[in-house]
Amino acid sequence: MTQTINLDEINDETDALRVAVSQLEAGKVVVVPVEVGVLVLALPSQLGAASRLTEIAKAVPEAIPVVAMAHRSVIDDYADNLSTLVYKLSRRCWPGPVALRVGGGQPEGFSADWSGDAREWALNASGRVFAIPRSNFSNTLLKRLSTPALGLVIPQTELERLDAGWADLIFSSREEVYEEGLTVVDVDGQNYQLERAGAVTKLSFSRLTGEVYVFVCTGNTCRSPMAEALFRNMLAQQMQCADDELLDRGYTVISAGLAAYPGSPASPEAVALLKEQGIDMSSHESRPVTEELLFHSDHIITMTQNHRDAILNAFPELAGKTRLLSDSGKDVSDPIGAGVEEYEICRNEIEGYLRLLLDQQSST
């Protein structure tokens, strides 16, 4: 008999999570809400788990087999020779309504030790499909498991097709869902194609694969905003497009400050200087540097060595994409409070370094 637990009626989910884990470890099928419908789970270590999910999938043609994980780092244990594009997309898409098909056409990593049909779950000649749900309960449950789970993503509207007793434990919720469903992307090296359109459109996904430049200073009101605005203008000129078309061309250019207070405008001197070049900075609002921003970026460009050191002291793994704006190692001094002439010197210095940067990027 199927047991149903309404998560909306629970204040503390601790007991519910414990029950879910024990049911899965006992070889049962557990259903949890996710942002694209429901996720039907079973453990690969349990004999017959994949066969049972396969029978469910036969009744719901729209069901999407996935391997459900709690964190993107786990993928390294279950797929070999992953490209830099896979890692970029995993940072930007997970957790969320996107699944990635990666790896080869054979069981790889620890999945080669799975038993029976589990070894072939969500696998075809192009690789295996992996997903990380954003929904809090589902993600927390996956974190409590010792292994990724075999999963089926099913639209809520299709559940009525299933017979009574198709699952052992169902967690329900009024959580809002993306009606378009799960987006599945096949990643092959540095190339990708949408295997299934869903909540993330083709245009939105192309933006996710683009290059993200982040210019960093201290307060994000003088140096880094000027660098952001100047570089965006240079890119647009090089690509012969409008500034607001850069995102669709695969480029995101932003700035942030290590000690920035959110929402502050750019300094009046910086706004006036760039206005002379036809660049409008009047709408700039400062933002602080965050871990998420740094890890989602492809190029972190700092105004001083101290800025770079501060970032790398906190996140040494970002060394490969964090650099000083100046190739010569010279700091760009902060002009704040020093007068218009110092701002002009700073602007000219930044502009010169940016032209070198753009030339370097164009030649790679």
pLDDT, one tens digit per residue, over 174-214 is 888 999 999 999 999 999 999 999 999 887 888 888 899 99
116: confidence class by pLDDT, cuts 50, 70, 90: confident
Q: What angle do CA 162, 163, 167 make, to 5 degrees?
A: 80
Nearest 10 degrees: Cα torsion 96, 176, 24, 56: -100
Instruction: Compute φ and ψ for 291, nearest 5 degrees.
Output: -60, -45
**What's the rounded Cα separation, in Å, for the pair 36 and 19?**
23
Of 162, 138, 152, 160, which Cα lies nearest the Cα of 182? 152
**What's the rounded Cα separation, in Å, for the pair 360 and 364?**
7
For residue 97, the Cα-to-chain-centroid distance in whole angstroms is 10
Q: What is the pLDDT of residue 364?
A: 62
**What's the rounded Cα separation, in Å, for the pair 273 and 73?**
45
Catalytic residue among 92, 101, 128, 223: 223
Mean pLDDT for all residues in the chain: 93
Going along the chain from its start, the domains and CATH numbers come out as 3-200 (3.90.870.10), 210-363 (3.40.50.2300)
Q: What is the pLDDT of residue 203?
A: 76
Catalytic residue among 77, 243, 331, 334: 334
Task: Mark residue 74 as left, alpha or beta (left: phi above 0; alpha: psi -120 to 50; beta: remaining).
Answer: alpha
* pLDDT, tens digit (0-9, with 9 covering 90-100), for 129-157: 999 999 999 999 999 999 999 999 999 88
User: pTM to 2 decimals?
Assistant: 0.83
Q: What is the pLDDT of residue 336?
A: 85
* pLDDT, tens digit (0-9, with 9 covering 90-100), for 67-102: 999 999 999 999 999 999 999 999 999 999 999 999
To the query of whether residue 298 is one of the catalytic residues in this protein, the response is: no
To the query of whether residue 217 is one of the catalytic residues in this protein, the response is: yes
Catalytic residue among 217, 232, 287, 308: 217
Sign of CA dihedral 148, 154, 155, 157: negative
To the query of whether residue 241 is one of the catalytic residues in this protein, the response is: no
